[in-house]
Amino acid sequence: MMTEKAIMVWKAIYIPLCYRYDISSMIDDILDILEKLRNNPSGEISLHWPSNTFANVWNMRWEDDSLVIDSKWESVLGHTEQLLNSQGPIMVSKWSFTSEWKKVLFHVISGLKESGYKEDSLPGMSRLIGVYNTIDSEGILYT
């Protein structure tokens, strides 16, 4: 319970995400999103995030560098679901969305390595590192 949290800012509303519980259950979906955004100039994805402290649905669609996320918030740490649902869709560039995940992925990779995991001993770690390496730079919050 005494672990660092990532903070997602959604239209000026702060949402804490626990690396131990939220990010660990979301990581495969995060990697799927990042790969699809990188490999497809346009597309759509509907995600049902699985964590009980980050349970919501994101309907994502993108064209060129524009990304729109229409969300339905069901449960988040901090109980701001009603406020989040009243905000409507978010529009952001694909580059901005992708780059903000780089530091999160860095922390996941670092934590796994510090715990003794290696690419050849943990299924999916090579993919995680590969996706991390395809992101050119960290988001504006880290520069």
pLDDT of 19-47, one tens digit each?
A: 888 999 999 999 999 999 999 999 999 99
Other Cβ atoms less than 10 A from the Cβ of 67: the count is: 20
Q: Please answer whether residues 68 and 62 qualify as being in contact, where contact means their C-beta atoms are separated by less than 8 angstroms.
A: yes
Is residue 142 assigned to a domain?
no
Domain interval for residue 116? 5-134
pLDDT of 44-74, one tens digit each?
A: 999 999 888 999 999 999 999 999 999 999 9
**Distance between CA atoms of residues 80 and 103, nearest Å:** 24
Domain tally, the chain: 1
Mean residue pLDDT of the chain comes to: 92
- Residue 3 above 80 pLDDT? no
Is residue 53 assigned to a domain?
yes
**For residues 4 and 108, which has the higher predicted lDDT (pLDDT)?**
108
- Residue 82 above 90 pLDDT? yes
Is residue 103 assigned to a domain?
yes
Is residue 81 assigned to a domain?
yes
Is residue 143 assigned to a domain?
no
Identify the band that residue 142 occupies on the pLDDT scale cut at 50, 70 and 90.
low
pLDDT of residue 2: 56
Q: Please answer whether residues 8 and 15 qualify as being in contact, where contact means their C-beta atoms are separated by less than 8 angstroms.
A: yes
